[in-house]
Structure 1
Amino acid sequence: MENVILIVHLLLALALIGIVLLQRSEGGGLGIGGGGAAAGRAPATPLGKVTWVLAIAFICTSLALTIVAAQKSAGSSVLDRIGNQPTAEEPADAAPALPSGDGLLPPAGGDDAPLVPRAD
């Protein structure tokens, strides 16, 4: 169910982006665009109505995804999951395990390491 809502949500987002880009600029944002009657409200165009419908549907799918995610969490917290991790019993004085093989550590002093250039 969550995947279906997510796919519909993504399709609505793409459609909303496309419809907004198709609309004519009404001006005001950057000081450019078609002028016109600044005092009254322009009549609703079909693209404007489609934009509103897509925006309402986008908000509804956003809320539905939030509800589905909240139900899946079942009241558990990330902190609850961290506390339930099994821990390995290691003595406190034991040294941390070093990576074996080709690790990122520099070679030991007795190894035949390549010479490092000096700035003399």
Structure 2
Amino acid sequence: MNDERKAPAGGFDTSADVYERLESIRQSIDNIDAALIHMLAERFKFTQTVGRLKAEYGLPPADLDREARQIKRLRGLAEESHLDPAFAEKFLGFIVAEVIHHHERIAADASPDTPAA
């Protein structure tokens, strides 16, 4: 008799219980992904406000001192949370690059020297 199921140590267990567990775990992952997106949206609302203030007062879009402090802080949080600090730094770098891009756009839009599109 050819049974498609194998013991977990030997390969695949296609019983319904395994699929139910996978679905439950994946639903938790999906919920966390949704929360991350919502949190990033909230974060970007604040960084847009920062960008407008910087543009209003002629401050540069990037703040290297702030970025260095954030990297140090997030690497520490990552270590405490048993997350790879290098990953946390890369993740922050991606976010900061996008924030700077937004700040540059805000500054350009606020500049009286900017030609109309």
What is the TM-score when the length of structure 2 is the normalising length? 0.31
| Bigger fraction of residues in helix | 2
Q: Which structure's relative contact order is higher, taking Cα pairs within 8 Å and 6+ residues apart?
A: 1
What is the TM-score when the length of structure 1 is the normalising length? 0.30
